[in-house]
Chain A
Amino acid sequence: MKLRRSRRPIIPIVTGIPLSIIAIFVIASRWIVPNATRQDIMTGVTSPGTTGHLFGTDQLGRDITQLAIAGAGSAVVGPIVIALGSMMIGILLGTFAGYMGGWLDLLLSKYADLLLALPTTLVALVVTGLVDGGYWVTVLVLIMLFSPTDIRMVRGSVIAQSGRPYIESAKVLGLGRTRIMFRHILPNVLPVAFSTMLLNVAFALVSMSALSFLGLGVGPGVPDWGRQLSDSRDLLDRNWGSLVLPAMLIIITAAAINLLGDWLQERFEERSVSR
């Protein structure tokens, strides 16, 4: 027996709470924790629950909680830019490839094959590591690595749309190709593109913090969850807070975005099928 899907939107509510908190951290961290990176060598490592330090302090005496709040910015802003940038490339090239076909389509699918032949982590690690890339170089590399799947996704839905009657009638009416592509097909692709973009934000967040965990991406001293995690490996026996807080923040943020994206995707797919 199938359970009826509940009518009340549980997922947006459940994921909305942590995501709004993170958003507040991103926007307002400079006012909430103005002294997050202030070092206090005298204090050194302290364990969670020390007065004034809920999750303790790290080797440099920085408060783990404040550092994590300040780190929300570098954890989230880059991934949003990556998802946006890669979807813009995806929409532009995917629409052309899907609607026009031909050599552009072939070239793009070969490019995608080439990039998909290697694990993203490996390529991102090698390229950003060898060119000494900073934060924004990493963002750029990840846009390049994320775009092939976006191109494929958009291309697929454009092809699915172009067989539909309303496109046939638009052609009969004598509308131009560009007009059909961007005024008629694109609006129907955008909902799925949006939910894919949301899922990409989560993947990009994990990839970016993985790179900073490996010592790439953000510069030294910049508050960042991945960096905090890699620092925490040396403090495990003295301060478990340095591990648990950033780890939970990454996991919860990624999971919330994923759940929301998945929920939206299901919604949009249902709608496009029923039409």
Chain B
Amino acid sequence: MDTAHSYRRLTQLLSRGSLTRFVIVRLAATGLLLLVLSFVVFALLHLTPGDPARNLVGVRNVTPELLQSIRDKYHLNDPFMSQYLHWLGNVLHGDFGESIRNNTTVTTLLSDRVTLTLQLASLSFVLTVLVAVPLGIAAAWRSGSVLDRSVSAASIVGIGAPTYAVGLLLLYVFGLWLDIFPVYGSGDGGLDRWWHLVLPAITLASGLAAMVFKLTRTAVIAELNQDYVAFAQSRGLSHRQIRSLVLRNAMIPVATSLGLVFAFLFGGTILVEVTFALQGIGSLLAGSVTFKDLPVVQAITLLTATVIALTALTVDILYYLVDPRVRKRGPR
């Protein structure tokens, strides 16, 4: 029971090709990435032009006492590394300091806003998947058909179309002209909230759907060109049997990319929230940047990076579990 035994167990766990080793290596890489990013995010305070203490005072009256108290609070007279460690320690306890613009802690400010962003992101994610994946499969099945060529061309336009321009056009047509959807704001909670989110979600989904469509189409076509499909056809397997085989394999890369798409939704929400005047995390970031509300900017940047890194990690682990071929190659 001794060290020899536990050592053997440890080496077993860490042997090439084991799930534990894979998870540990990926976790370490993610942790390192976030550590580096947290350093960069902290450094923003000092990269912003002007005296950090004055920047943190904001529009309050600058008195020497106030500046001194800010310097004490943020340890601004300490060496850079020790400032960073203080800040990191607070962040790990969920304390991002106080907002300069609003007189509250960053944490309360964020928790008020995060629900809306999550609702918007998940609604557009569902829309994207429901529209883009079936279309991608259909287009791949009949590649070269009128359906394929028209949707492919539309997706090229969709990938490049700017969210805010599309959003404003939708807002004008459906909000003002046809008067079907509410124009601005986020509604009174409950169903009304979701109703207010329909146009923003469609806006956000339009670009993503184009991307997911392209990915799905490519994945299915690649699978259709595999030898086993020709073999199954010559064996006389039914169309339906072949379809289920192909789709099951093609969905692996599609699922992987969907995880990353979800992460990148958070970039898109900035523009959509500003366009539709929604009170979410994205519009908070845009407002805080123009106002130089640094603690809020730092918090949102770091949280977004964390969400994206964790999503990528989860996707990688799921991919590892689903696709046996990855196990041989080991962690990337």
Contact = CB atoms under 8 A, between A and B. Distances in A.
Interface string A222-255: 0000100100110011001001101100110011
B160 A229 contact: no
A109 to B, nearest CB: 10
A125 B169 contact: no
A214 interface: yes
B271 A121 contact: yes
B164 A213 contact: yes
Contact of B309 (A2, A117, A255): A117
Given A120-B267, A259-B156, 16 more contacts: A117-B312, A118-B305, A121-B270, A122-B267, A122-B285, A129-B290, A130-B47, A130-B297, A206-B162, A214-B286, A216-B289, A229-B165, A232-B168, A244-B172, A247-B166, A259-B153
Contacts of A233: 168, 275
A262 B143 contact: no
B304 A250 contact: no
Interface string B172-198: 100010000000000000000000000
6 contacts: A2-B143, A2-B144, A3-B144, A114-B33, A117-B33, A126-B285
Contacts of B47: 130-131
B88 interface: no
Interface in B82-123: none
B166 A237 contact: no
A237 B184 CA distance: 13
A203 interface: yes
A258 B36 contact: no
Interface in B21-69: 33, 36-37, 44, 47-49
A200 to B, nearest CB: 11
A82 interface: no
Interface string A1-25: 1110000000000000000000000
A74 interface: no
A243 B168 CA distance: 7
Nearest to A209: B162
Contacts of A122: 266-267, 270, 285, 301, 304
Contact of B268 (A121, A246, A247): A121
B160 A206 contact: yes
A40 interface: no
Interface residues of A, number: 45
B202 interface: no
A262 B301 contact: no
Interface string B260-277: 000010111011001100
A168 interface: no
Nearest to A203: B160
B156 A130 contact: no
Contact of A236 (B161, B176, B309): B176
Interface in A173-227: 202-203, 206, 209-210, 213-216, 226
A229 B168 contact: yes
A172 to B, nearest CB: 32
A114 B153 CA distance: 32
Interface of A: 1-3, 113-114, 117-122, 125-126, 129-132, 202-203, 206, 209-210, 213-216, 226, 229, 232-233, 236-237, 240, 243-244, 246-247, 250-251, 254-255, 257-259, 262
B40 to A, nearest CB: 8
Contacts of A210: 162-164, 271
Contacts of A254: 160-162
A258 B157 contact: yes
Residue among B44, B47, B289, B305 having the largest count of chain A Cβ atoms under 10 Å? B289
B159 interface: yes
B292 interface: yes
Contact of B308 (A118, A246, A250, A258): A118
A229 B47 CA distance: 31
A131 B160 contact: no
Contacts of A246: 165
A130 B301 contact: no
B168 A255 contact: no
A131 B165 contact: no
Given A118-B304, A258-B156, A250 B49 contact: no
Nearest to B294: A130
A8 to B, nearest CB: 15
A213 B101 CA distance: 22
Given A229-B168, A243-B168, A117 B144 contact: no
A229 B286 CA distance: 16
Contacts of B20: none
Question: Closest 6 CB pairs between A and B?
Answer: A119-B267, A129-B289, A2-B144, A258-B160, A247-B165, A254-B160
Contacts of B160: 202-203, 206, 254-255, 257-258
Contacts of A232: 168
B219 interface: no
B171 interface: yes
B77 interface: no
B233 interface: no
A126 B161 contact: no
Contacts of A243: 168-169, 172
